[in-house]
Amino acid sequence: MATGSTPLKRRALAPDILSAINISGITLIALMLGLILMQAAMNQSRSLTRAGVTANIPSGWILRQGVAQEELIYSASDPTSPYLKYSVSLVPAVPGGTVMDSVPPVNLNRGRALNAYKVLAQTPAVARGKDTFKVDFAYVQTNDSTSLPVVVRGVDYYFAEGDQVLLITLEEESGLFNAALPGFLRFVESVRYAPGGVK
């Protein structure tokens, strides 16, 4: 019966060691589920329609609707991030012009209203399955006298919509801008425009 080798004996782990392994495993599973929950919560949104513009706004964000005289349709701000904001506006198209012709007036108005407003780049792009014009910009936000000024970065997407131009904008503190971009691009993809809506 001698086989020339000793059979390997499996030693059972002590219950307290097994218990520690079980707790570590359970905690790991709980944290993984927490991560999935976090992703689900951050991707949660609600649909909003105003002036013919429908979009999926992240749930829990603070909504501001534009008044009759404003080009702004609505903006949504993250209550947990003081500078993160999505805006949707309808600006009049320049008769006989292209989408690009709507960019200078918007930049001019912002240059008057915002501190150190600067256009960083203007490039053609594709979004919502359409050709668009993309403008990257930055400005300085000065708050109260006790805190330092903050550089805010932004990006505009201009879409031709008949005699109107649909302008979708992201603004966020420069250090957090890149992290905010994927969520904003999902928001841009969710925007639908049907002319004739009431503000």
Partner 1 sequence: MSATKQVQPILHKKSLLVSNIVTIILLVLFLLLELLVDLVLKPVYSQTGLVVAGVIMALIPAILWIGFFYRQDRLEPEPKGMVLQVFVLGALVAAGIGIPLVNNVFKTTTWIYRDWWVHLLGGILVIGFTQEFLKYAVVRFSIYNASEFNERIDGIIYSTAAGLGYATMLSITFVAGSGGVDLGMGAVRVVLTALAQASFSGITGYFLGREKLDKKGAWWTPFGVCLAAVLNGLFFFLESTLSAPRLTATGSTVNPYFGLVLAAVLAVAVTAILSWLIERDYKSGLGPQEE
Contacting positions for partner 1 (CB under 8 A): 15-16, 18-20, 22-24, 26-27, 30-31, 33-35, 37-38, 40-42, 44, 59-60, 78, 80-81
Query: Least separation, in Å, of the C-beta of 13 and partner 1?
Result: 8
Query: Least separation, in Å, of the C-beta of 77 and partner 1?
Result: 13
Q: Nearer to partner 1 by C-beta: 35 or 120? A: 35
**Contact of 87 with 75, CB cutoff 8 Å:** yes
Query: Least separation, in Å, of the C-beta of 80 and partner 1?
Result: 5
How many angstroms separate the CA atoms of 178 and 194, rounded? 30
Q: Nearer to partner 1 by C-beta: 44 or 65? A: 44
Q: Nearer to partner 1 by C-beta: 46 or 130? A: 46
Query: Least separation, in Å, of the C-beta of 54 and partner 1?
Result: 21
Q: Nearer to partner 1 by C-beta: 15 or 182? A: 15
Helical H segments across 76-198, by residue range = 103-113, 177-190
How many angstroms separate the CA atoms of 107 and 110, rounded? 5
How many angstroms separate the CA atoms of 138 and 155, rounded? 9
Q: Nearer to partner 1 by C-beta: 61 or 159? A: 61
Name the DSSP class of 176: G
Place of tokens 């993250």: 78
Query: Least separation, in Å, of the C-beta of 187 and partner 1?
Result: 16
Q: Nearer to partner 1 by C-beta: 22 or 109? A: 22
How many angstroms separate the CA atoms of 58 and 170, rounded? 13
Smallest CA-to-CA distance from 71 within 106, 104, 111 is with: 106
Query: Least separation, in Å, of the C-beta of 125 and partner 1?
Result: 28
- SS3 state at 81: coil
**Contact of 85 with 75, CB cutoff 8 Å:** yes
**Contact of 103 with 159, CB cutoff 8 Å:** no
